[in-house]
A and B are shown apart, each in its own frame.
Chain A
Amino acid sequence: MKQDEKGVYYAKDIFVTETPEPGKDPKPWGKTAVIGKSQSRIDAYERVSGTAVYPSDLSLPNMLYGAILRCPHPHAIIKKVDTSRANKMPGVLAIISAATSEADIYWSYSKDVKTKLFDPHCRFEGETIAAVAAQTPYQASDALRSIQVDYQILPYIVDEQNALESGATKVHEGGNLVKPEETYFRGDIEKGFAQADVVLEESYRTECQVHTPMEPHGCVAYWDGDLLVIHESTQGVYSVQSNVAQTLGLPLSKVRVIGHYMGGGFGSKLVAGKYTVITALLAKRTGRPVKLFLTREETYLCTGNRPPANMTLKAGVKKDGTLTALDFSVTGTGGAYPAGGTALVDWLIKDLYTCPNVSTKATDVYINTGPARPFRAPGHPQGAWALEQMMDALAEAVGIDPVQLRLKNIPSYSQAREGNPPYTTTGLKDCLEQGAQAFRWNERKKEIEGFNSSKHLRRGVGMASCLWIAGGGGPPSTIILKLFSDGSVNLNMGASDIGTGTKTVMAMVVAEELNVRTEMIQIEHADTGTTQYATPSGGSKTVPTETPAVRSAAINIKQQLLQMAADDLKTQVSTLHFNGDEIVAKNDNSIKIKISEISGLKKRGVVVGIGYRGPNPEGKVVNPFAAQFCEVEVNTKTGEVRIIDFLGANDSGRVMDRLTYDNQVYGGITMGIGFAMTEVRILDSNDTGKMLNRNWHDYKLPTALDMPPHMESLPIDLPDTEANITGAKGLGEPVTIPTAAAIANAVYHATGVRIRKTPLNPTQLSMIFSEHLKEK
């Protein structure tokens, strides 16, 4: 592409943002030229045309195909693994199992729990038993089927609701309690209930939701001498590097993990899997690159899930809408190993609304299923399902509009954290008020009452709100920017773009700060060999973590250019500033130099800027907030629910790229609809304990036709200047937290029937409506 003839800086009308003195923080952006606009993905063409090479697309010379033999039982002891027949099959180059010396290593399921990589005690269906490398995927699969395994099949437990009953099968010797019940108290819960005018108590359940990224989990690995190179589909190359180095006893420098493109993770690809280590071992044994990607069935069994949640919530409210007490408990399971089975489920109860008296209790149990992994906003959608339906019920009980009830209880500080630190910003009020207005909440509530007279197709509106516990990001992050002599820029960062548009947003920051077109920016990222340390892309923290570091790196370049210009012009830096493609003296514009003429840049050929992520504000909390509104139509004869409209209002600080912002909002609502309406993990609890719906037909993700015909994203553009130097907060997770509860509230509004369990579809609702709506 031809560089703008003006040289380094291209824009005519926009001044380059003021450059702070070295060591000082820049001012927040004022009017922006690039940030906040709609910028399509800088890699859109590659992604859409198929030229983007995802790890699962990679094909290397002499590459072999790996496959893993997995335990078909939820609980069994491996007595014997006989690979003799498989070893002789054509194309088979390596088989590893517990008997293989280099595979006799430990795998960390958690900080404290380690087992052998091929442990004879299989505690969930899908646990690894052996692995094969062969010349074709078919040969690898045939070889797996020829391995003879003697299993001692053990009793199992796959229902977390019975895991603590006496006589329940023990998943681990110490019993099924993962850790002592976690409790939290503040205030005086009994007093709180005594002050209430209305006290309600309900039980709720959300089903287990399984991660379904388009690209399954896996990698291509090879050894280059003693350097292990892994192309992994991952959210964080540095975390994979450290997991693999630790497991194999290698120095970090000898593990290079590359993850340029990746096809989604939603939390299930934050760390390495056993599959990563197994691939490395197979590559070592054969001396050839090995590609090992899991089948969809395998990912459903053993690469994580959002745990089921069994919740009860008792709540007290005064007639004027003041919350007086919340008493919550949850039982959940992370599967067969410690995996946060109840993590953060109670967070919204503790922190979302002002309430002086709160008590929560969480019981995390083991069952014989694949370990959970974080799933987009861990714990939050489950907790919201309970809390937000309860808020709706309380609102009705005291005769206050649900939006008003929430507005009445907005805290300005975090009640659940030590010392009650204030939020840097809270846009919850704006989300509720502006969201309600944009949705026409009040008008629609009335209109619907007319629609519903005496019909079995009934309409309803519902809403729910949330915050997300993280989303402020923070150190560390190191960014390197290179400005070449022609003005084009290379951006080097360790973070992964997990499909959210990270690269695009970072390019926009560079474009904004250096006034260079995004097409002039080349990005190197997600490679532990060539880019700098970064934390995995998760927790809605990538934008607030990385954009400030990118901005700092760009400012660092500008500071260097000013110094070089000062040297050339023989003047003081403080007298100079940027003006278009020149650096000019502030009080005498005859003293100037074209940036491309700066001798330092011309001589070196490059100016390297380094940016670090600075600390977050001390004693304050940076959280994003959201509210969602929807309208549904319910067929009370069949239990069908059709979503007609959805609106998501989000406060995630400054809007960086309006397009990728809206993508997150629509995507989060979509995923929330799946959680509410169609997605359920089904286990054969009576007979075999096996998972029954492990493919895309039986595990029902919502389709395009299950989406509302109209969805709207309403950004509350509230730059959080205290949070960091770009003013952005996280967005990727709050967008999916309130969705399910908002739908349930709308179904209630339509029918007067409270649905306490997911999924909201005819398999449950036709029965419930036939029992509860007889008179209507």
Chain B
Amino acid sequence: MLPNFTYVCASSEKEAIKHLASDGARIHAGGTDLLGCLRDHVFTARKIVSISKLDSLHGIRKTAEGGLRVGALATITEVARNPIIRDRYHVLAQAASEVASPQLRNQGTIGGNICQKPRCWYYRGEFHCLRKGGDQCFAAGGENQFHCIFGGDMCYIVHPSDTSPALLSLGASVQISGKRGSRTVLMEHFHIPPGQDVQKETILEPDEIVTAILLPPASPAMKSSYRKVRARQSWDFALAGTALAIQFSGATVEKARVVFSGVAPVPWRSKEVEKTITGKRLDANLAAKAAEAAVKGAEAMEKNAYKIPLLRGIVEEELIAIAKL
């Protein structure tokens, strides 16, 4: 059951920011993640500030620089179906279309997707864990089959978002408004690893709103794709996945961004894979090498060792596939 809270529907960014400054205020976009957290008593809220009426946060449009501005309130479905995204930012359309289920994609927003809370069952369950202000990570010695193999540090969540790795691979940035004005932050710096702050997932201050996501102009030489493996084919998060954005010159990789999902507390950029393939002809041999590089430094816990061969398999398969696109 939900806690008691007051509800306001802000009519301007300014008004929303003002409400958010009050103690225990939470942003409500599509509510698909927020309401679940409240019902499960993961955290509580005294005031729910709906941003759904803020026109400036809606819509997907081209920018003057030739990139794309995706409003924070664009639904996952809108992102998945947008013709420009499908055409030039394929990895994002693909990632969006693999999110959750049709109902959740219709209701959930891209802003909410990158801000969503972790899915660790200890965090979501009746466990007073480190991330909730407790003094223990239950996953470390517990049931950690869905936890991270990279970047674990006191807390071993994986970042649940599919769109975030795609956005990171595209070099996207996040537009933010708050009581001290607005700022734009690279997607790469938006999420916070547990080693930095175990109770925060993003750099947002309580009064800050994501207003939009900015995609830089897409080079025609870029190919991009997203591959996600899960325990069932819908309504499920990634066990492991990879976003690829690669600029080719012929069969040779000129520039590459490789970002993993489902294996780390933040979208996990693999400089190792990028290094392995950049400047080389992408063929089956190189893909196999890159797959080995992908899992360098991975540390398995008791129950998630499968993620290492899984990630290796995904990277190899997907690199071969993108070369053929």
Contacts and interface: CB of A to CB of B under 8 A. Distances in A.
Interface of A: 72, 137-138, 141-142, 456, 635, 637-640, 677-678, 682-688, 690, 692-694, 697-698, 700-706, 759, 761-764, 766-767, 769-770
Interface size classification for chain B: 20 to 34
Contacts of B101: 703
Contacts of A686: 141-143
A692 B125 contact: yes
Given A686-B141, A763-B239, A702 B313 contact: no
Contacts of A637: 312-314, 316-317
Contacts of A702: 232
Given A137-B1, A767-B306, A700 B125 contact: no
B231 interface: yes
B295 to A, nearest CB: 11
A456 B321 CA distance: 13
A762 B310 contact: yes
B141 A762 contact: no
B147 to A, nearest CB: 12
A769 B232 CA distance: 18
Nearest to B291: A637
Contacts of B231: 678, 700, 759, 761-763
B135 interface: no
B5 interface: no
B103 to A, nearest CB: 12
A691 to B, nearest CB: 9
Contact of B234 (A638, A694, A704): A704
A705 B233 contact: yes
A693 B121 CA distance: 7
Contact of A703 (B122, B125, B232, B309): B232
A766 B235 contact: no
A405 B91 CA distance: 50
A639 B229 CA distance: 9
B52 interface: no
Contacts of A142: 1
Shortest Cβ-Cβ A-B pairs, 3 listed: A637-B313, A770-B309, A705-B233
B310 A706 contact: no
Nearest to B239: A762
Contacts of B239: 762-763
B1 A640 contact: no
Contacts of B310: 638-639, 762, 766-767
A682 B304 CA distance: 14
A706 B233 contact: yes
A769 B233 CA distance: 20
A684 B138 contact: yes
A456 B126 CA distance: 42
Nearest to A674: B232
B262 to A, nearest CB: 11
Contact of B138 (A137, A456, A687, A694): A687
Interface string B194-234: 00000000000000000000000000000000000111111
Given A137-B1, A638-B310, A687-B138, A700 B232 contact: yes
B126 A638 contact: no
A711 B91 CA distance: 33
Interface in B224-262: 229-236, 239
Nearest to A297: B40
B143 A692 contact: yes
A694 B143 CA distance: 14
Contacts of B192: none
Contacts of B43: none
A763 B138 contact: no
A405 B306 CA distance: 35
B229 A688 contact: no
B122 A692 contact: yes
Contact of A639 (B125, B142, B232, B306): B306
A199 B307 CA distance: 36
Contact of B142 (A684, A698, A704, A705): A684
Interface in B299-325: 305-307, 309-310, 312-314, 316-317
